[in-house]
Amino acid sequence: MVEQKIEGIEKEIKHKPKIHFTLPNARSFLRTWRKPGEDVKLDDLSKFRLTLVASEREKRIISGSIEGGRDGLMYRTIISMMHEGEYLGAIDSGERLELFVKTFAELNKNVLGYIILADKKYANIMEQALKEGKIKVIPEGVLYAKESNC
């Protein structure tokens, strides 16, 4: 059933969504973008997936969070799964920030500009984007910006 839903989302957004199922204590369970056999790992994510830890602690949805990961900056939505007040785990959907920004610009052609400011601690994760000039580190943080749609 989950595979059918993922296939439907994939058709709609034109790429396979990254949906991550996790267990209590920020332990990974299933990653939909990995091959069978590589998709299930019970690794501990608590040291760097702070939004996942917060979602469990606060037992709430966290939407629109920007967080660093192995693939650079990610735009995340985390939904806590609860049963009779007990936290069972979470469903985490993440997209590379670059892809999110590109999709936003394509869907909002009337928008002449945008700015995304992320915490400076993410600069090291975005090393490649810095080299390519896609982002800039300023005193306030890491800056993504576009002045007009070309």
List the CATH number of the domain containing 72. Answer: 3.30.450.20
The verdict on 107 and 47 lying in the same domain is: no
Q: Residue 98: name the closest of 78, 118, 79 by CA.
A: 118
How far apart CA 49 and CA 99 sit, in angstroms, is: 20
- The tally of domains found in the chain comes to 2
How far apart CA 144 and CA 117 sit, in angstroms, is: 6
Q: Residue 55: name the closest of 75, 29, 82 by CA.
A: 82
pLDDT band at 146 (very low <50, low <70, confident <90, very high): low
The verdict on 55 and 120 lying in the same domain is: no
Write down the H helix ranges in the chain: 2-13, 50-58, 97-107, 127-131
pLDDT of residue 147: 62
Judged against a pLDDT cut of 90, whether residue 23 lies above it is answered with: yes
Sheet with 114-118: list strands edge to edge. 114-118, 141-146, 136-138
- Domain of residue 125: give its range: 98-146
pLDDT of residue 89: 94
pLDDT band at 149 (very low <50, low <70, confident <90, very high): very low
